[in-house]
Amino acid sequence: MRLPDFLAARFVAGSTAESAVAVGRRLLALGIRATFDLLGEDVHDGAAARRIAEANQALLRQIPLEIERNVSVKLSNFGLGVSRDLCLELTAEVLGVAREVGGFVRIDMEGSAHTQATIDVFQTLRRQHDNVGIVLQAYLHRTEDDVKEALSRGDRVRLCKGAYKEPASIAWTKMDDVRSSFRRNTRLLLARGSHAAIATHDESLIRHTIAYALEEKIPASRFELQMLYGLRPRRWETLTRAGTHVRVYVPYGTRWFPYFYRRLRERKENVLFVLRSLLGG
């Protein structure tokens, strides 16, 4: 393994779909679900976007039946920056294969330059597809409205804090404010949604989610906690043993740098890990 691959290995399952599926098998043995992500973003070449969409179709067919065929995709990887029509066409093709194999496609949310376009493409596809969900980011001021609209349409939402650098004019920049928004939106999704996905490693938010579900007698089947591969693996297991559904986001592929960089930016312990690895510790 080359040095950069070795560093990314903490957060990335490997360079191939086989390596990701192998992680999916290990998770399944522990009662943990997975969503698979072929890494990459900001593709500005239509032919490359098409190849990436085809690779996602192949992935959906390759995930064994016993592992849920659940993938996460970024629309900028499917040519959103080339043309919205191309992106719609490629994503619809992936959704078609997902339908054929009983799979589900989650559309990740990217930086604010793509927020509205991502929601628009999702809503267009949603009219014809049940097997697609969206991600909304608690740090954006607009998100509570987006959550309410999604709930009114019966859309499946994954809530996360948000991983991109956004200006104070559109996003909360203090962690306390982001957490308050996360808690508000979690309560909305749990109370009114049927497949709420609450994505965080933040213990205070995990506890809030579970306490609220208990208080409101929301059954475990109505929501799941989601975490990223490599982060808090012991917690995935304790939560699963306690009866909470957990899904792990399993990224793979060679285009890992932007994903890796976001993981370093959001938590100093992740930087320390990389420094320790470099020093051979």
Active-site positions read: 108, 158
Residue number, 137 or 186, with CB nearest to ligand FDA = 137
Residues 203-222 that bind ligand FDA (CB under 6 A): 203
For residue 17, which of 40, 36, 32, 33 has the smallest C-alpha distance? Answer: 36
For residue 134, which of 148, 118, 113 has the smallest C-alpha distance? Answer: 118
Residue number, 164 or 212, with CB nearest to ligand FDA = 164
User: Residue 248 and residue 231: Cα distance in Å, rounded?
Assistant: 9
Residue 246 as a binder of ligand FDA (CB under 6 A): the answer is no
Residue 22 as a binder of ligand FDA (CB under 6 A): the answer is no
User: Residue 149 and residue 166: Cα distance in Å, rounded?
Assistant: 22
# binding residues, ligand FDA (CB under 6 A): 22
**In the complex, least distance from residue 138 CB atom to ligand FDA, rounded to whole angstroms:** 8
Residue 121 as a binder of ligand FDA (CB under 6 A): the answer is no
User: Residue 112 and residue 123: Cα distance in Å, rounded?
Assistant: 17
Residues 97-116 that bind ligand FDA (CB under 6 A): 108-109
For tokens 């306490």, name the residue: 211
**In the complex, least distance from residue 47 CB atom to ligand FDA, rounded to whole angstroms:** 25
Residue 240 as a binder of ligand FDA (CB under 6 A): the answer is no
Residue 228 as a binder of ligand FDA (CB under 6 A): the answer is yes
Residue number, 5 or 266, with CB nearest to ligand FDA = 266
Cα 84–chain centre separation: 21
Q: Which of 42, 55, 92, 164 binds ligand FDA (CB under 6 A)?
A: 164
**In the complex, least distance from residue 29 CB atom to ligand FDA, rounded to whole angstroms:** 20
In order of 7, 17, 110, 209, 277, the CA distances from 3 in angstroms are 6, 21, 28, 39, 10
**In the complex, least distance from residue 9 CB atom to ligand FDA, rounded to whole angstroms:** 15
Q: Are 78 and 91 a contacting pair, CB within 8 Å?
A: yes
Residue 43 as a binder of ligand FDA (CB under 6 A): the answer is no
Q: Cα dihedral sign for 223, 27, 17, 226?
A: positive
**In the complex, least distance from residue 143 CB atom to ligand FDA, rounded to whole angstroms:** 11
